[in-house]
Amino acid sequence: METVDCDLCGSSNYLPVVSQTDILHKTTTELFTVVKCLDCGLHYTNPRPNRSEIGEFYSKSYSFHSNRGWKSRIKTSFIWDIFKKFANSSFALIFFFLPPISKFLASQLKSPIKDPVTELVKKGEVKSFLDIGCGSGLSAHYWGTSSSLVSCNKHVNVFGLEQDEEACSSLNLQGIKCWQSLDKVELGISFDLIRMNWSLEHVHSPTEYFKFISERLNENGTIVIGIPNNEGLLYRLAPSCLELPIHLYHFSIQDIKEYASQFNLKVLDVKTFSYPSMFSVPVAEGLLPKDFLFSKSIFRAKRAMRFLKSFDEIGWGNDMLITLKKKI
């Protein structure tokens, strides 16, 4: 374990905020603490696993790394995307009286947030695309297979950056150039589009990544960052419901704006959003009352989506999508 200063402002003044163990992946029962920087307000895990230790806290079946096993294969296939689309349609309500199917569809209900990556690719504005934290390259988290590195490879020149050795090797064997660390990326290579799709919260030094992005992004290029919103409704109600210890940083919108300012980047757009299944783990762990078990049925989940939308609109969504460009 290592104890660190604030990555954003360098201050060593911080105050413990919450402590929690690994309630999601169950890799350990050890308690980890999140602190708040008293100078800039950034929240981060401290002490934390160092770079050589962090791999121990990713389960072997971690869905974005693995492409083995029937569960991983289904979750990274177009079949799972079809389930999600159906769950978001009005037709899903016909399964209200079939509890097992109703509950499954409720777990797949998502906010209809447009994927900026596929939009840019379709417009022909991207020739080179770097996906930082691409996992196995088969799924792009919120947007599934349609925006994955493997799918984008059919339209643009793609590259991956992935710390997991097996996932990185798998992509290289498929002919997709993938590096395991920033310092391995050859000098002289630049990109029209760089995505950090729920990966920035996992890295040991966000500053290193913002510096890399500012140096390697082409002049009119775009950065897309998807991350948890530490000021979202869920984290306001249950502050310790965090993905510890693999989430090393816990960002607010203002934190990202501060990083952007330091590296000559400007924020173009910010969206926050939530979905019902995000509340399942905190309810199961006793961090929230059972009234928040929104994904118990498809009817209840759709009603919850209308409730959550009002919080999304004021910046209290549990996830956020931020689009940035270089200042010119």
Task: Give the tens place of pLDDT for each residue, 143-196.
Answer: 888 899 999 998 899 999 999 899 999 999 999 999 999 999 999 999 999 999
pLDDT at 65: 44
pLDDT at 63: 47
Question: Is 74's pLDDT higher than 60?
Answer: no
Question: Is 299's pLDDT higher than 90?
Answer: no
**Is there a domain that residue 147 lies in?**
yes
**Is there a domain that residue 159 lies in?**
yes
Whether the model pTM is above 0.95: no
What is the C-alpha separation between 226 and 45, in angstroms, rounded?
19
Comparing 1-5, 96-100, 110-114, the range with the smallest average pLDDT is 96-100
Comparing 24-33, 87-96, 144-153, the range with the smallest average pLDDT is 87-96
* Mean pLDDT across 243-253: 97
pLDDT at 86: 61
What is the C-alpha separation between 140 and 151, in angstroms, rounded?
10
Comparing 70-84, 168-182, 215-229, 258-272, the range with the smallest average pLDDT is 70-84
Q: How confident is the model at residue 142 (pLDDT cuts 50, 70, 90)?
A: confident
Question: Is 75's pLDDT higher than 60?
Answer: no
SS3 189: coil
**Burial readout 94-118 (b: 16 or more C-beta within 10 A, e: otherwise):** ebbeeeeebbebbbbbbbebebbbb
**Is there a domain that residue 51 lies in?**
yes
**Is there a domain that residue 7 lies in?**
no
pLDDT at 122: 83
* Mean pLDDT across 39-45: 98
Question: Is 218's pLDDT higher than 60?
Answer: yes
Q: How confident is the model at residue 108 (pLDDT cuts 50, 70, 90)?
A: confident
Token pair, residue 72, equals 């991983």
**Is there a domain that residue 5 lies in?**
no
**Burial readout 299-309 (b: 16 or more C-beta within 10 A, e: otherwise):** ebbbebbeebe
Q: How many domains does the chain have?
A: 1
Cα-based torsion angle of the residue sequence 302, 304, 308, 310 in order, rounded to the nearest 10 degrees: 80
**Is there a domain that residue 184 lies in?**
yes
Residue 86: domain span: 14-326
Sign of CA dihedral 161, 166, 171, 173: positive
**Is there a domain that residue 1 lies in?**
no
Question: Is 304's pLDDT higher than 60?
Answer: yes
CATH code of residue 139? 3.40.50.150
Token pair, residue 327, equals 């200042």
Continuous H helices in 153-263 = 165-173, 206-216, 233-237, 253-262
Contacts of 3 (CB under 8 A, 6+ apart): 46, 47
Peptide bond into 47 cis (omega under 30): yes
Q: How confident is the model at residue 87 (pLDDT cuts 50, 70, 90)?
A: low
**Burial readout 130-168 (b: 16 or more C-beta within 10 A, e: otherwise):** bbbbbbbbbbbbbbbbebbbbbbbeebebbbbbbbeebb
Question: Is 41's pLDDT higher than 70?
Answer: yes
* Mean pLDDT across 247-266: 97
**Is there a domain that residue 35 lies in?**
yes
Percentage of the chain modeled with pLDDT above 70: 88
